Structure 1
Amino acid sequence: MNMAVQDTTNTDQQQERKLCQFVEELLEGRVTNIERLPRWRPAWNVDLKRGDEIIKLHIRGERGGDVSPFPDLRREADILTLIRQQGIPAPRIYGFCEDPQAIVMQNVPGTRDLSQAKDNAERLSLAKQYIDAMAAMHKLPLDAFVARGIDLPHGAEAISLAGLEAYYPLYERNKTRPQPLLEFALNWLRRNVPQHRIKPSLVQYDSGQYLFENGKVSTLYDFEFAMIGDPLADLASARMRDNYEPLGGPFSELYRYYQEVSGEKPEPDVVRFHTALFSTVSAMQFSATVATPQPGDPHDTYIEFDIALRRVVVHAMAEAMGAEIAPPAINIVEHGPNAELLSMLTDAVNQVQIEDEFQQTKLNAVRKIVEYLGRADAMINQLQAVDMQEAGVLLGCSFAHHDEMEAALERFVATASTEHDLALLALFASQIERRVQVFGQTAIGRSASHIDLPAL
């Protein structure tokens, strides 16, 4: 076995031994099974025997890297505990492991896969049950959350921009290259805050995540990014999730249902604002991991997030600004100067045989990056040349390098008046739409090709 693989395996086994020991001491039982889930974030399902009882546990580990605005995993455990205590469906928290840091929680039965529901009527019922839980969460008193250290924003700007202000220090700290699209979006958002939204709520912020079993929602999950802010931010993030993880019914119908159960009046423009905001902060979150990748990062996942989220940013902003996005023309070339070497690399990767399911996921990640690299080898020079030509027309200058163009665009965005908004949006939309045309058929780029914001 390769030494790097051996070291990784040993580290994983050491973590699992520590987790098993912690769980056995915490719950005074014996672990009979521990299963590492084949996903990019560390997570395990555990069976613990205590007397005649089998306790089903889920262990949620740290995501790793500097990509979270709220890196303290205890924060999520506290929020889950509080919402469960107040009647919101959430997993029971048993304890918190310090080394390795992980939340030990109830393994709630159910699935998120709505294709497992028996019919469309059940899917719609599940979606409405989820909306019921969301609306109930938005009505929770905030004192207990503030007492646990959750920031309470005051005033329209602080409430509407709670997510932006939470993510911005992470973005600013890790920024290693110009980000003209994101700086443009940030400026637009700060200039277009809904000034009448002055009532804060607890929001999941990365919403739309629930499990169901036998036609009933069994739990909400993933409160890593929960905060206090505008409740319509949850509608916006659920709307985005509906692209790749359907909620169970037409979003417009679910939004109307939310209005019924919450008493909120229809405010589609505010939902559009928060769609633009959530996509922007999400792209900010992963911008540095692509610009400056770190060892151990789930690189394929971060590239996928980056291209998909940037496309959502331009589509959400176009919707909020009432603008149209026209697909740009591009001449697709299938092979680049390193095609033969990439063919060899693909073959070499395909010759690697791994039995362990978790290590297979890592090998599949390599395959996806190699495929993506092949498209980049064929097209990156053309993409960058067109980017520089279009930006040169807008800025009235020429560029020798793509990095020079990005820096010039960021400087322009910082001082540009609102009269340039539509031209800048069109420029950034052309850039990302060309990349989706090039990479959209790859495993990494496929999710970006299916961006479609549901109607309100």
Structure 2
Amino acid sequence: MATLEPSLVRWIEGIIGTTLTQVHELTGGASRNSFILTGANEAKAFLRLDAGRGPLSGTDLTLQREYSVLAQLQGTGLPIARVYDFSPEHNAMLMEFLPGHTSYQKTGSPAEEASIRRELVQAIVTLQAIDPRRVSALGPEAGGSLGVAISGDMHTWGKLYDERATLHDPLIDFSLNWLSQAVPDAQAPAVIVHGDLGPGNFMIQDGRIRALIDWEMVRVGHPLEDLACIIARALGAPFGEAAEHIANYEALSGRAVDLRKLDYALALVLVRWLIAMHMALSKPSALQNVPMLFAFRQINSLSLIEALCRCQGVEFQGPPPQLRGADPCRIVFQYSRDCLNELAQDAAMAASAYKLRGIVDLMAYARDFIDYGPERYEREEIERTAAILGRAPGSGAQAHQAICRYARSVNMAQARPLLEFLRWRAEREQVIMHTSLGVRQDNRIRIG
């Protein structure tokens, strides 16, 4: 049983009206700690706690803000849990415990899954219909324009990226720059968006969506952001087809979806995910799933650049670069991978087997990078950066720094050569990672 500070326990007991007898901590939360609480009378409650160590700690996206937004959304017809109280002293939110589960894959029949996907889109439409001005906890952007809302959001994520990601990426720098400048319908009103919708962030009970959960990313933003988010979830696990989600949205909202505006919204979603992955990889540890982060960073990057290219009408000029396939170290890597694979199959603990398979994937990436050629990789970075900037950097590291700075400030009218380079770069990484990605190399967002 998890333990809580005595003063926090007293605060909880004062609200639930009974002695706390059981505290069960849940796993999986990226930004907050979550607990199921049981009292002496078997009554249950749910606790959200921010210990100040999550990726959003220190930003405006506080737990107190989440509580206030949820409190102001009560009675709007949204499927959400009731919130009881917030403790500034403990940075803790106490709320209603909801029976059910978050495992969309366990719902049963395809028909039931399709019904849940439609319900999720209906929740998006319901949320967007709420006047942001009635939810003052959203901040000064509530009731403002789309351009102001997105500019503020990109500033928040750009600050996180600059301060907490030691690994910088010109694709992120370009995206932050372009998304702030190229807002479609910038003067249109922003709407309320959940910000992180998809499997795992809604509760299911008796084959229906009981509640949307994990509201730490709630804000005002683009009307297609939440739709884009559930479409982008397919990069990680199957969650219906994009065409189905679009059709549901059009039918339930009565509004046609402009696919290029949807691409813009996809880019908003994907650049946030990419920044979060770069932040995580800046401080890798054995507690993280680094191989999975590597894989999804690449899948995310390729999907992001494809969305940006569709927005700008830029076609990729192939063919992509190829591996040499003749490095003498291949046999050493292959033997080591085979041995680790065998150990993974024999591992008694599932977690150990999972980590061993992750090491196998990282070794495949290292082997294929050597096959590609570190010298060739650096030379390409220097030559292609020089072609864009008009001057030759002295090293690959200098080329990387220079192209990141350029991407953050480039005039959008002159961005096409940079966009073509970023697309080529993502395709090159896809080639290098083809073995380590395995079946995931075909994961794409296809919206037409």
Instruction: Name the TM-score class by shorter chain.
Output: 0.7 to 0.9
Matching of residues 134-153 of structure 1 within 5 Å: 134-147=124-137, 149=139, 151-152=141-142
Q: Is 1:55 matched with 2:23?
A: no
What is the aligned partner in structure 1 of residue 397 from structure 2? 403
Q: 1:295 to 1:392 in 2, by over 3 A?
A: closer
CA deviations 1:300-327 (Å, max 9, x no partner) are: 2654553343232222223323344554
Distance of 2:294 and 2:440 partners within structure 1: 11
What is the aligned partner in structure 1 of residue 308 from structure 2? 317
Distance of 1:39 and 1:440 partners within structure 2: 28
Q: Is 1:75 matched with 2:55?
A: no
What is the aligned partner in structure 2 of residue 27 from structure 1? 16
Identity of aligned residues (%): 17
* Structure 1: gaps of 5 or more residues: 1-11
SS in 1 for 2:99: coil
Distance of 1:63 and 1:454 partners within structure 2: 37
1:299 to partner: Cα distance = 6.1
1:240 to partner: Cα distance = 0.8
Distance of 1:383 and 1:105 partners within structure 2: 55
Q: Is the 8 A contact 2:169 2:404 kept in 1?
A: yes
Q: Is 1:169 matched with 2:159?
A: yes
1:177 to partner: Cα distance = 5.5
CA deviations 1:352-396 (Å, max 9, x no partner) are: x999xxxx86x6786466445534543445464343333333324
What is the aligned partner in structure 2 of residue 329 from structure 1? 322
Matching of residues 230-269 of structure 1 within 5 Å: 230-247=222-239, 249-269=240-260
Distance of 2:69 and 2:312 partners within structure 1: 35
Q: Is 1:306 matched with 2:300?
A: no
Distance of 1:295 and 1:126 partners within structure 2: 36
Q: Is the 8 A contact 1:29 1:50 kept in 2?
A: yes
Quick one: which of 418, 422, 440 aligns to 1:424? Answer: 418
More off after superposition, 199-208 vs 171-180: 171-180
What is the aligned partner in structure 2 of residue 185 from structure 1? 175
Q: 1:391 to 1:181 in 2, by over 3 A?
A: same
What is the aligned partner in structure 1 of residue 262 from structure 2? 271
SS in 2 for 1:242: helix
CA deviations 1:42-71 (Å, max 9, x no partner) are: 6444241343x4325354545724445444
Q: Is the 8 A contact 1:201 1:228 kept in 2?
A: yes
Q: Is the 8 A contact 1:57 1:105 kept in 2?
A: yes
Paired letter, 1:88: L
Paired letter, 2:218: A
What is the aligned partner in structure 2 of residue 4 from structure 1? none
1:158 to partner: Cα distance = 1.5
Q: 1:20 to 1:369 in 2, by over 3 A?
A: farther
SS in 2 for 1:449: helix
1:106 to partner: Cα distance = 2.9
Let me know the Cα RMSD of the aligned residues: 4.0
1:122 to partner: Cα distance = 2.1
Q: Is the 8 A contact 1:311 1:429 kept in 2?
A: yes
Distance of 1:186 and 1:37 partners within structure 2: 34
Paired letter, 2:220: I
Q: 1:365 to 1:101 in 2, by over 3 A?
A: farther
What is the aligned partner in structure 2 of residue 64 from structure 1? 53
Distance of 1:76 and 1:414 partners within structure 2: 31
Paired letter, 2:423: A
1:163 to partner: Cα distance = 3.1
Q: Is 1:293 matched with 2:283?
A: yes
Quick one: which of 420, 433, 453 aligns to 2:445? Answer: 453
